[in-house]
């Protein structure tokens, strides 16, 4: 087992993309040497280890970004978290390109033949180049007059990202509250929440009339500030500390909650998010969010 000495305040977690590579002893020892850490503990053979270590500010290596550079091109992710309170009691997750593999509004547009036009606005919004609410209104306006059944067609294209079920169900089985909070639409979040087992879900509402989309979104719009407020509400309602919360997302509209949560993890995120959030999953799956909390693979819940 890893050294449990109180002198080790943090834990480094090294995770390999199982479809591309496997952790070797050379990889593990290199990580341990870089942080002068304790003996590695295997979380998943060939996939994930954890190493108790000192705070990043005390390393000879500059920071967590330097560690990622060491393993660049190897299909591996490196995360560093405080050892105290690793298993979180609250999960707040974005939906599009985080829990699911797509941007659902872009998919609606694709079925309507205007996919490229809307996707370009989505990309700029997720990169933080344009304000979220304005971008949402602009994109939804382009859907005016389209049949509501396009949503059903788009839903058929939605796939859960690998590890989504394990993440939500494992945390719930261990007493955590889970919330899907999206700048997308309730039509999709309600279905995704049911599939994964989220306790609750929140998103925007596409307005319709006579089986047609009106080109308007219900108010108030759920944007970056609302995501942060849901996080704060859930922390207060659960009687927990913000340290006990994990948040994950990929876009600029997730930054507010990622900055504040005890464990804010950028998931295959846009450049603007990666520049600001140090703990990142860029190579692996949502399973890594469980490894970051110290769960072993044999503790994961899939059904």
Encode pLDDT of 143-192 as tens digits. Answer: 999 999 999 999 999 999 999 999 999 999 999 999 999 999 999 999 99
Catalytic residue ranges: 94, 96
Encode pLDDT of 230-256 as tens digits. Answer: 999 999 999 999 999 999 999 999 999
Which pLDDT belongs to residue 295?
A: 98
Residue 3 scores a pLDDT above 50: no
Stronger pLDDT, 4 or 294, i.e. the higher one: 294
Encode pLDDT of 100-117 as tens digits. Answer: 999 999 999 999 998 888
Residue extents of the structural domains in the chain: 1-84, 86-303
Which pLDDT belongs to residue 80?
A: 94
Which pLDDT belongs to residue 55?
A: 86
CB 237 within 8 A of CB 246: no
Which pLDDT belongs to residue 61?
A: 52
User: The whole model's pTM is what?
Assistant: 0.94
Residue from 210, 228, 208 nearest 218 by CA: 208
High-pLDDT (> 90) share of the chain, %: 83
Which pLDDT belongs to residue 7?
A: 86
Residue 6 scores a pLDDT above 70: no
Residue from 72, 79, 64, 69 nearest 21 by CA: 72
Q: Which fold has domain 86-303?
A: Rossmann fold (3.40.50)
Residue 2 scores a pLDDT above 60: no
Six-digit token string for 185? 């639409």
Which pLDDT belongs to residue 59?
A: 64
Confirm whether 1-84 and 86-303 share one CATH topology: no
pLDDT band at 1 (very low <50, low <70, confident <90, very high): very low
Encode pLDDT of 127-139 as tens digits. Answer: 889 999 999 999 9
CATH class of 1-84: alpha beta
CB 108 within 8 A of CB 122: no
Q: What is the dihedral of CA 92, 172, 20, 277, to 10 degrees?
A: 20
CB 17 within 8 A of CB 163: no
Encode pLDDT of 34-77 as tens digits. Answer: 888 999 999 999 999 999 998 887 665 557 888 888 888 899 99
High-pLDDT (> 70) share of the chain, %: 96
Residue given tokens 């933080």 in the structure block:
128
pLDDT band at 5 (very low <50, low <70, confident <90, very high): low
- CA-CA-CA-CA torsion sign (159, 161, 163, 167): negative
Average pLDDT over residues 278-295: 97
């Amino acid at each position: 087992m890893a050294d449990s000495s109180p002198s080790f305040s943090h834990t480094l977690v090294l995770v390999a993309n199982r479809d591309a590579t496997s952790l070797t002893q050379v990889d593990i020892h290199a990580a341990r040497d870089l942080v002068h850490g304790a003996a590695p503990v295997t979380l998943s053979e060939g996939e994930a280890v954890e190493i108790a270590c000192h705070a990043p500010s005390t390393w000879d290596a500059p920071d967590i970004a330097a560690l990622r550079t060491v393993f660049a091109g190897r299909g591996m992710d490196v995360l560093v978290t405080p050892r105290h309170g690793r298993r979180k009691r609250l999960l707040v997750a974005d939906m599009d390109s985080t829990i699911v593999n797509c941007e659902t509004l872009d998919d609606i547009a694709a079925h309507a033949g205007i996919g490229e036009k809307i996707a370009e606005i989505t990309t700029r919004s997720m990169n933080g180049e344009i304000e979220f609410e304005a971008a949402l209104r602009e994109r939804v306006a382009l859907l005016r007059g389209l049949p509501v059944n396009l949503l059903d067609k788009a839903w058929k294209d939605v796939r859960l990202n690998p590890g989504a079920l394990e993440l939500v169900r494992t945390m719930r089985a261990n007493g955590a509250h889970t919330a899907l909070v999206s700048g997308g639409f309730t039509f999709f979040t309600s279905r995704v929440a049911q599939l994964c087992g989220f306790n609750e879900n929140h998103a925007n509402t596409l307005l319709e009339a006579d089986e047609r989309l009106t080109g308007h979104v219900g108010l108030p719009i759920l944007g970056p500030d609302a995501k942060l407020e849901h996080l704060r509400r859930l922390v207060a309602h659960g009687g927990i500390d913000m340290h006990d919360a994990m948040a994950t997302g990929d876009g600029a509209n997730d930054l507010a909650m990622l900055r504040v949560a005890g464990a804010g993890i950028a998931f295959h995120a846009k450049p603007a998010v990666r520049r600001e959030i140090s703990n990142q999953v860029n190579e692996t799956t949502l399973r890594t969010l469980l490894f970051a909390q110290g769960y072993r693979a044999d503790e994961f819940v899939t059904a």
